[in-house]
Amino acid sequence: MTSRGLLILPFALLACGQAPAGREATQVGAQTPVATTGLNSAAMAGTVAAASRLPRLRSLVVMRDGRTLAEHRFNGGPALDRPVNIKSASKSVISALVGIAIERGVLKGVDQPILSVLGPDAPARADPRLARVTVGNLLSMQAGLERTSGENYGRWVSSPNWVRFALSRPFASEPGGAMLYSTGSTHLLSAMLTRASGRSTHALAQDWLAQPLGIAIPPWPRDPQGVYFGGNDMLMSPRALARFGELYRSGGVVDGRRILPASWIAASWTPRTVSSWSGGNYGYGWFIGDARGHPVRFAWGYGGQMLYVVPDLRLTVVMTSDATGARDTGHIAALHALLADGIVPAAKKGGPPAPR
């Protein structure tokens, strides 16, 4: 495991400045629920102290069993109910909208060819492989098209038509082949949602997520044709992002109301490809790993906008950060360490639950 790896946890305790805690007497299996409630106060105190030493960290929210057990702001971060740019954690939100759209018949399914909706924007002499690219390929970053992220991002967002630019990229891999992380793929999903429904992605997010979850998702940037940016720059507060994470942790049901199909959560959390950058697994808009033997599913945005769900510990954890710093300063590894070496042990030891 290198410091660049994002999906295989845990990291060393020293990565977040904590002193080692005592080892657990027994190893809990990945699928075995831990019969504790609350969070161990001593373990959490050390975790918060370690978090306070991370100059880029802005917030930490920890929920267990749907109850908020810890909320902290750091380094002058905004109020926890103020929307912030969640960067590429937006991809997990777009994935949820796609799952709901399929359930409602707006989209036909993960095997639906993208040109069934986006055909008018395809190049006149398109590579025949473009007709084979599906909704599922976009969700799992297996479209095969040259990336619009990284060194190509600036040219893409400066283009007059983002959808046409993304569809016109040459193939760097076969559809369904290697993972090529590309924000353009998620933006194509936003365009499909807009065209298939006749409504903006923001309007769908309001009706399908924000209103039933009781959260705010304000408007975020759009492309030159008015399609809301798919996969970047969505605005959600740390508390709202935690509420979204709870939707997945609770199997798609919140306050007794089904919002997201349970089958979509399972499909999204099924490993489908492997990142060549980190060696970690990726599903439909979610990264997949583990922390101290416990499965972790997480959304990850540039600079450290993190949403972690640890199903067997009944945990949802949000960390937001300053997104203006350098790409790789060890900050992401330190955030993973806060979870793996601080919050997970605190949950396994348990403590008094928060009052309802």
pLDDT tens by residue, 222-254: 999 999 999 999 999 999 999 999 999 999 999
pLDDT at residue 83, rounded to an integer: 98
SS (H, E, C) the chain: CCCCCCCECCCCHHHHCCCCCCCCCCCCCCCCCCCCCCCCHHHHHHHHHHHHCCCCEEEEEEEECCEEEEEEECCCCCCCCCCEECHHHHHHHHHHHHHHHHHCCCCCCCCCECHHHHHHHCCCCCCHHHHHCEHHHHHCCCCCECCCCHHHHHHHHCCCCHHHHHHCCCECCCCCCCCCCCHHHHHHHHHHHHHHHCCCHHHHHHHHHHHHHCCCCCCCCECCCCCECCCCCCEECHHHHHHHHHHHHCCCEECCEECCCHHHHHHHCCCCEECCCCCCEECCCCEEEEECCEEEEEEEECCCEEEEEEHHHCEEEEEEECCCCCCCCCHHHHHHHHHHHHHHHHHHHCCCCCCC
Q: Do 85-236 and 34-82+238-356 have the same topology in CATH?
A: yes
Name which CATH class applies to 34-82+238-356.
alpha beta
Average pLDDT of 103-110? 98
Q: What is the residue-averaged pLDDT of the chain?
A: 90
The residue ranges of every structural domain in the chain are 34-82+238-356, 85-236
- The CATH superfamily assigned to 85-236 is DD-peptidase/beta-lactamase superfamily (3.40.710.10)
Whether 309 has a pLDDT exceeding 70, the answer reads yes
Whether 53 has a pLDDT exceeding 60, the answer reads yes
Give per-residue pLDDT as tens, 248-305: 999 999 989 999 999 999 999 999 999 877 778 999 999 999 999 999 999 999 999 9
**pTM attached to this predicted model:** 0.91
pLDDT at residue 50, rounded to an integer: 98
pLDDT at residue 277, rounded to an integer: 75
Whether 1 has a pLDDT exceeding 80, the answer reads no
Give the strands of the sheet with 67-73, arranged side by side: 67-73, 57-64, 315-321, 305-310, 294-301, 287-291, 281-282, 273-274
Q: Let me know: does 94 contact 231? Beta carbons within 8 Å.
A: yes
pLDDT at residue 32, rounded to an integer: 52
Q: Let me know: does 344 contact 350? Beta carbons within 8 Å.
A: no
The band of 25, judged by pLDDT with boundaries at 50, 70 and 90, is: very low
Rounded Cα distance between 97 and 131, Å, is 23
Residue reference for tokens 């490809």: 273
**Of residues 164 and 1, more confidently modeled:** 164
